[in-house]
Amino acid sequence: MTVTQETIEQLDRIPNVAVSPGALLSQHTRFGIGGPAAVYAEVGSEDSFRDVLRLLRDNQVSYTVVGDGTNLIVSDKGFPGVVLRLITREIARDGALVLAQAGASLQTLVDYSIQNGLRGLETLTGIPGSVGAAVYGNAGAYGHSISERVVSVRFFDGRQVRDFDNAQCRFQYRESIFKSHKEWIIFSTDLEMLQADADALRRTADDILKVRNQKFPVTMKCAGSIFKNLLLRDLPESVAAQVPASAIREGKIPAAWFLEQAGAKGLQRGDIHVADYHANLIYNAGAGTAADLCALIAELKARVQARFGIELEEEVQYVG
């Protein structure tokens, strides 16, 4: 159902909700790509978020929930319903237990942990996005993932607020149960950290950030790596035998290795480019479109499929 003026006015009357009809989603994604949403709304409290969802469901209005837009590909046509973003950002701690609300940036959480001498998230420094999205996709780097620290996740299932412990979240490599239940909205997470020297943690994070910024400059319109790395144990024997030992890292083979063998580096379509130094990095060089981005992703998948008989899986999420 289309978003009526009456629905927009009802949204505008809910406390802690900022409503922006017709907002260009390209302004809310790191790719800088995406047409207009019928309505873009930022919600500043959990109670208001529940009220918004009830209103939209009662009025049968289509909606989608996004984080910071760092891992999104949004259609050039935009989204015909309401795009919601939860912007609750509180971070607090009780000893080594840290509570982080979903709308806080992951980098803010990493910095908070380091400043308080809490170890466990420093290798995630430089990963863009919100805490909620990091839990949703089990973000990680340098052999560690946020799931290692998660004690519980608080979320709204559409009817009530619930809590899952770590096991119930079914974390896997870049996966969680929340990816299978996109209607469940993460509100916050509790993380159990370890006491450590803050200066040592900062040095580790700064070294990682220096390397990350060389590969993924903060000004680059990209989503970091496009495709998930592959687990060696899941590969057919005939494919695994082709992978040199030097390419295997902690039981994983970078998707970039397969892409490079398939000639991905330097490919482009319109203003969408594959970096000439990193085969798993696609960026918008200026006026790129979602159509060209999706076409280039499809070509890369087809090349790897033809060369190795395996299918790469995107890390990015699609809207519209």
Active-site choice (174, 212, 269, 303): 174
Question: Is-catalytic flag, 159?
Answer: no
Q: State the Cα–Cα distance between residues 43 and 48, nearest whole angstrom.
A: 7
Q: Quote the tokens at residue 75.
A: 């259609």
Would residue 225 show up in a list of annotated catalytic residues for this protein? yes
Q: Which of 176, 225, 269, 314 is catalytic?
A: 225
The span from the CA of 134 to the CA of 146, in Å, is 7
Question: What span, in angstroms and rounded, lies between the C-alpha atoms of 319 and 155?
Answer: 21
Clarify whether 192 is annotated catalytic.
no
CA 87 from centre of chain? 15
Q: Which is catalytic among the residues 46, 122, 314, 315?
A: 315
CA distance 38 to 84: 11
| Residues identified as active-site | 174, 225, 315
